[in-house]
Structure 1
């Protein structure tokens, strides 16, 4: 209101300002009475000439204290006929109480101020009604569409313009949308957040939190309540919050592999929010083939004293596993956690978030390169030195350039003729001393396999019996698989 042209016409002088100017104005009251405090309900902007104010300093202090106790938003005094200056006693009380005090040095019509404030209040109320209706339509649509919890959380954050976090009853983070706030910073501010319960029919599933942010026309709590209601409908429709845990795990895995975290601290904070710690633990990235549900895997890992974050995709379970240092990940323990009939790919042990991410990527690369039938098996990246080396140089442009340069003729041939030369070459480097086994791995007869090798040698202008050439081709193929998988 101080910036409104109506008040600016009075050449206002701020006697007490600062944080006091942030007070909300609920209404305007015009009075010169010394007993006006008893007529106020709180939140009023008092307009006065001060003509009826007491003159004694002690009485003025008591008058100002009464206004403060009544909850007045601020005092605007027009100097001239009533007061030639703001009494020191009044200014003293207002400074101590943090109560806005403004002097108008020119005469204005108080009725114009009243009209301006009331117009603003009515406009704000109208905006709030429209915004509440928009929010109701938005969250009703999300509920009817069966939107998952992470979508509801994201829409709530966008509506508020502030970070929003969904927790379960154990205070584990299920979903979050931090907008431009770093994840670690946002999760560290949860103690200062506005929060509403996610509940329906007497059952509570969690809490929806909004971190400090801008005011909202409909009220921040109103927005949160709409989001919480949509989440509660989702829980009722799904029969409970079982989907939340799967969602939380999938979100962590997807964000990790999609490199959507700004720094390692964000990764650590997100993992810690789900009860997954790295300090003093043995941690691995693993891929378990043929797992239909990650719930059993998570339960078995916990029974073994471990913490796990797992997601399902493409027929494989992709997981982060944290174990006590006293319980190394033996083949027997792998079989116990993943199931005795599974083939499992295990990344190197890690003790920090970047190492854990590299371990998971290496396990996925190994799984992508190994589609052999048979077995339950435990395959470890540590037993595949070339795979581990390529994983460590995943983002090195020189390695990628080597791969593209060396394989370009074969890649072009396969693309133009829908050929299988890359698969034949992969079988060759996987069985460098046994071309019969390489042919069998390619599902080709030996004669056809040898014809393919002759064509590859001609395209590359290379001797496929030369050990150094085979090593370079093996490196190029591994780098290509890693880049494609990323």
Structure 2
């Protein structure tokens, strides 16, 4: 066999300025052993085990016993050992030198120098956990180096390309002012793993689970305090900070590798979030944004199961067990005030986006309220809650859905969402006066209409019965509808009805007489009043902002 002693002129050196921080791409020692160029040598693993999973950063070919000084760590050594010492003590020392140099394995071709490996070399390698492989057939070492180095360089090129794509993506998000929840969503999509944006108090601000089991959020706050830095469980942790200010932390849970490096991707996301925060320091609080996003998702049916909802609510510190739960619709109040009022009751509130109001405080805002089970929200507590929301220029009103016992856990979720929907339906259907608390259970007709509001027969009933009034000029139409609304709200008490319509009794009676003539009905007839009441409720539920009901 040809002498494979190292030629300094053709030595295979690992390039210097190559920084490798990818999660995958570098071939493992086991993968190198399976490569075609090495497999033809009939490799026999004499020392291996878990060490075969270590990545190979480069391949070095040398027979010199002094090659350790040329190593930088992470290399696989290919050798015939023809220049190695013969004394056992020197061989043992040489193996230890290789270990200190960071060698990841030794591949020795038998035949040129050794017919079999000395026992002292095998023992020393086994004692140090250094993989040792014997080749029983001659191979071309250059073919091995070319094959492995090509893969390493190709993967490094792919990593650089992937990093550039990730950098472009998150720079674009930062320049567009993308909201924090969308940045987290893109991170989870890119990493194909759950990503959590948490506050400095380890509360979940935004969680994108990427189809993972929602149980990963169970008891998040306590477990996150124990997470610390990147862990052996596959998670990556990156702070969201800039100019010495830290706002939050990004946590990516275990998932597949990414060619750009999982941590590098997470850092790009953290940079986008930090830039967004610097650009809009007075923007919406991230924690409140996350809760609003959760509420909007629940109302939109964007969740997988009741268990997932329970986990998400728990991560937002709205724990179902041991709580009395209510679905609310609040008008004339901000999310900050609603959350503060809930805390004063010893509870917790999650607020969604006001309906039809975008980001404004005006409009009916969906709210999930959890208060300690012994607390009675009815009566005084509800009024105190509403009073806490009162401002100088507003007198808020609340629509409150049925109470739900949170002790049922996940089984309570459908009833809680139904309570919220009923409160919102009451707010949409009912012409609720300001400065009051309105309970769904006290408005059975409104509940009936809201449950059948899409039924064409109800719409036809309302349109047909009210058609003569709706065809009147706008001013007369408003007067007649107000008079009819007052009389059905106060049947048998026209004095109270006139007061509710905010007109004198004589004017009110004139309008009722006109309504009877226009509609051709007797407003002293109980059945007529019942039919009119239903028609008016349906009309209010489907009317346009400035005109009559629409179909």
- TM-score of the alignment, normalized to the shorter chain, above 0.5: yes
The residue number in structure 2 matching 1:106 is: 137
Are 2:395 and 1:339 equivalent residues in the alignment?
Answer: no
2:372 pairs with one of 324, 327, 339: 324
| 5+ long unaligned stretches in structure 1 | 456-463, 482-486
Note the 1:154-165 alignment, pairs <5 A: 154-165=185-196
Count of aligned pairs: 455
Q: Is the 8 A contact 2:431 2:540 kept in 1?
A: no
- Using a 3 Å threshold, how does the CA distance of structure 1 residues 234 and 88 change in structure 2: closer, same or farther? same
1:227 pairs with one of 269, 277, 285: 269
Per mean C-alpha deviation after superposition, the further-off stretch among 177-186 and 231-240 is 177-186
Per mean C-alpha deviation after superposition, the further-off stretch among 111-120 and 147-156 is 111-120
Which secondary structure state, in structure 1, belongs to the residue aligned with residue 285 of structure 2?
helix
Higher alpha-carbon Rg: 2
- Using a 3 Å threshold, how does the CA distance of structure 1 residues 52 and 241 change in structure 2: closer, same or farther? farther
Which secondary structure state, in structure 1, belongs to the residue aligned with residue 292 of structure 2?
helix
Residue 246 of structure 1, CA deviation: 2.5
Residue 20 of structure 1, CA deviation: 3.0
Q: Is the 8 A contact 1:283 1:350 kept in 2?
A: yes
Q: Is the 8 A contact 1:197 1:207 kept in 2?
A: yes
The residue number in structure 1 matching 2:36 is: 5
Are 2:186 and 1:167 equivalent residues in the alignment?
Answer: no
Which secondary structure state, in structure 2, belongs to the residue aligned with residue 199 of structure 1?
strand
Per mean C-alpha deviation after superposition, the further-off stretch among 155-164 and 4-13 is 4-13
The residue number in structure 1 matching 2:208 is: 177
The residue number in structure 2 matching 1:244 is: 286
- Using a 3 Å threshold, how does the CA distance of structure 1 residues 63 and 186 change in structure 2: closer, same or farther? farther
Q: Is the 8 A contact 1:12 1:104 kept in 2?
A: yes
| 5+ long unaligned stretches in structure 2 | 1-31, 228-232, 358-362, 407-411, 472-480, 502-510, 544-551
Are 2:437 and 1:378 equivalent residues in the alignment?
Answer: yes
1:75 pairs with one of 98, 106, 109: 106
Residue 465 of structure 1, CA deviation: 4.6
Residue 194 of structure 1, CA deviation: 0.6
Are 2:76 and 1:22 equivalent residues in the alignment?
Answer: no
Which secondary structure state, in structure 2, belongs to the residue aligned with residue 32 of structure 1?
coil
Q: Is the 8 A contact 2:236 2:251 kept in 1?
A: yes
Q: Is the 8 A contact 1:301 1:337 kept in 2?
A: no
Residue 125 of structure 1, CA deviation: 2.3
TM-score (norm 2): 0.69
What CA distance in whole angstroms lies between the structure 1 residues aligned with 2:313 and 2:429?
28
Per mean C-alpha deviation after superposition, the further-off stretch among 45-54 and 196-205 is 45-54
RMSD of aligned alpha carbons: 4.5
The residue number in structure 2 matching 1:360 is: 420
Q: Is the 8 A contact 1:246 1:311 kept in 2?
A: no
The residue number in structure 2 matching 1:297 is: 338
Are 2:381 and 1:310 equivalent residues in the alignment?
Answer: no
Which secondary structure state, in structure 2, belongs to the residue aligned with residue 204 of structure 1?
strand
What CA distance in whole angstroms lies between the structure 2 residues aligned with 1:243 and 1:54?
69
The residue number in structure 2 matching 1:459 is: none
The residue number in structure 2 matching 1:215 is: 257
The residue number in structure 1 matching 2:153 is: 122
Are 2:134 and 1:131 equivalent residues in the alignment?
Answer: no
Which secondary structure state, in structure 1, belongs to the residue aligned with residue 198 of structure 2?
strand
The residue number in structure 2 matching 1:147 is: 178
What CA distance in whole angstroms lies between the structure 1 residues aligned with 2:464 and 2:109?
88
What CA distance in whole angstroms lies between the structure 1 residues aligned with 2:236 and 2:418?
37
Residue 141 of structure 1, CA deviation: 1.3
